[in-house]
Amino acid sequence: MPMCATTHHDRVGVASRRHRHLYSQNLILSLHLCAKLEKAGSKHQPSPMQKTVEKTEPKLQELKTRLTEIRDIEAATSVLDWDQATYMPNGGAAARGRQISTLRQIAHEKFTNPTIGQLLEDLRPYAQSLPYDSTEASLIRITQRQYDRAVRVPSEFMAKLSRHRAESYTAWAEARSENNFAALQPFLEKTLEYSRELANFFPGYDHIADPLIDTADYGMKAAALRSLFSELRSQLVPIADAITSQSPADDSSLYQNFPEAQQLAFTEKLIAQMGYDFQRGRQDKTLHPFTTSFSIGDVRITTRVYENHIGQALFSSIHEMGHAMYEQGISPDFEGTPLADGTSSGVHESQSRLWENLVGRSRSFWKYAYPQLQTIFPNQLGNVSLEKFYRGINKVERSLIRTDADEITYNLHVMIRFDLELQMLEGSLAVRDLPDAWNARYESDLGILPPNNSEGVMQDVHWYAGLIGGMFQGYTLGNIMSAQFFDAALSNHPKIPTEIEQGNFTTLHNWLKMNIYQHGSKYSADELIKRVTGSPLTINPFIRYIKQKYGEIYTL
């Protein structure tokens, strides 16, 4: 007798459209037959599967209800975070730290409530009876993984960590403007203490950074990242040396007076053309650009504007747009659950770097966009050729600032930070010695010495508003993944560069939505990469892309 289903699964997780069609047809036939049997007054007993569904449905609904309540509290916390980084007056810092701490503690206590643990335990057999990548099985699996992690961390610790992070961010914003690392040192020492304490809630690690890395990039460990980064570094350094030994590209056209209002108007028009939905988002200014999601219907980005440099707002906006379009493209069915997130920092970064670099710094893109930019800034760019502008935005140089770095040296910036945070966690580098260690690495790795700490060790917000450990590896993982994903998109749609040249971003955007965005956090990064590209993570597409693009620009 067919199962008289009371629910259906929108995503059955089978490998082809044909199989999905067959599944749907069988389900429809089953439902029709069940209806006939019920109408005829059949006295057959319910099947074991029907009993399982009837028994499970209330528990699954209770789990979803509880998770949505927690997500709502987390969203309210994110609103306070966003406001602190955009519009909040400095005088609100102390209270804001308390408010954020209170909400995060409540959310953590609700999530670690034993009732959720029991619901997950009761639902496990049900999840195991479903296809691995069905929505319900994925929700139970991902929630279980997050729950197992969360119950190890006391709510009181999360509260004090949240309060400290809010206070540290405010201290960083003030100290950075004054080039005053000494004022920030006590905050960073406390962050290091809390980072070690958090890691130690997860004993049995190979390296103290592993639990922190795992939070952002599930499944990754310090040893594997060191090996991957070493391989990448061996490929990038010779390319960087070959390019920087030549006369640098002329990027002087980027350093003129570009009024802020016009820059913001242009970036907003451009990212809307590329696919960012302003009906479900907005753009604001901040010190360090970021993206935040309050729901799938409200995903906001920030940028920073330098009136003497057009590249800052331009590429910050495109970068954050990439993050935001990922969040906007998640299946609406996942709203209010742990599935409504990007799957890892590396995958998230792959989407921002794909749009910023593989699209936003391509010649095809600027064949379309540059005439528009010239129209907005005729006095500044009217006599600057497309080729000169293109070479300028792809200038390779040994620079100080990570967010300004070119595609080749950018990863060297990330590796410096990754190494330093491992050393701090290991205890081989004290916070008081961090500025000197930072400067020494910049001089040895990039041949440049920061003139001050604001442009050196204090330039990034991550250690001062987050943790030490797991903060930076995602950027380089994202660069590697971006090329691998873009390769797969081009294999399926070779005309994408031609379409971009015509201002048509729909094919690429839809491909990303179908293959990456809609899945949210359903798959791990490893699973997603293999599913989308057919192979595990590899640096080969990224190195091939770098050699082809910059070999042509610099005639290597």
User: Which one-letter amino acid corresponds to residue 513?
Assistant: K
Tokens of 21: 């069609």
> Of 320, 327, 349, 407, which residue is the catalytic one?
320
**Chain centroid offset of residue 173 CA:** 23
d(Cα 83, Cα 96) in Å, to the nearest integer?
Answer: 10
Long-range contacts of 501-510 (CB under 8 A, 24+ apart): 501/364, 501/365, 501/367, 501/368, 502/368, 503/273, 503/368, 503/369, 505/273, 505/274, 505/275, 505/359, 506/275, 508/359, 509/274, 509/275, 509/325
Q: What is the DSSP letter of 249?
A: P
Classify residue 520 by its DSSP letter.
T
Which conformational region is residue 68 in: left (phi greater than 0), alpha (psi within -120 to 50 degrees), or beta? alpha
CA 224, 227, 228, 229 dihedral sign is positive
Dist CA 38 CA 354 (whole Å)? 54
Nearest residue to 478 (alpha-carbon basis) of 389, 382, 348, 367: 348
Q: Contact 250/267 with Cβ under 8 angstroms?
A: no
Strands in 277-412 per DSSP E? 283-285, 291-295, 298-303
**Residue 301 bridge partners (DSSP):** 283, 291
**The token pair that represents 362 in the structure block:** 């391509």
- For 158, 268, 317, 325, the CA distances from 272, given in Å and listed in that order, are 38, 6, 11, 11
Amino acid in the structure at residue 232: L
Within 8 A by CB and 6+ apart from 173, the residues are: 287
Closest among 195, 181, 244 to 450, alpha carbons compared: 181
Question: One-letter amino acid identity for 168?
Answer: S
| 320 is a catalytic site residue | yes
d(CA 447, CA 169): 30
Q: Is 319 helix (H, G, I), strand (E, B) or coil?
A: helix
3-class secondary-structure state, position 87? coil
Please say whether the beta carbons of 457 and 332 come within 8 A.
no
Structural contact between residues 468 and 215, judged by C-beta atoms closer than 8 angstroms: no
Strand order in the sheet with 298-303: 283-285, 298-303, 291-295
3-state DSSP of 471-492 = CCHHHHHHHHHHHHHHHHHHHH
Give catalytic residue positions: 320
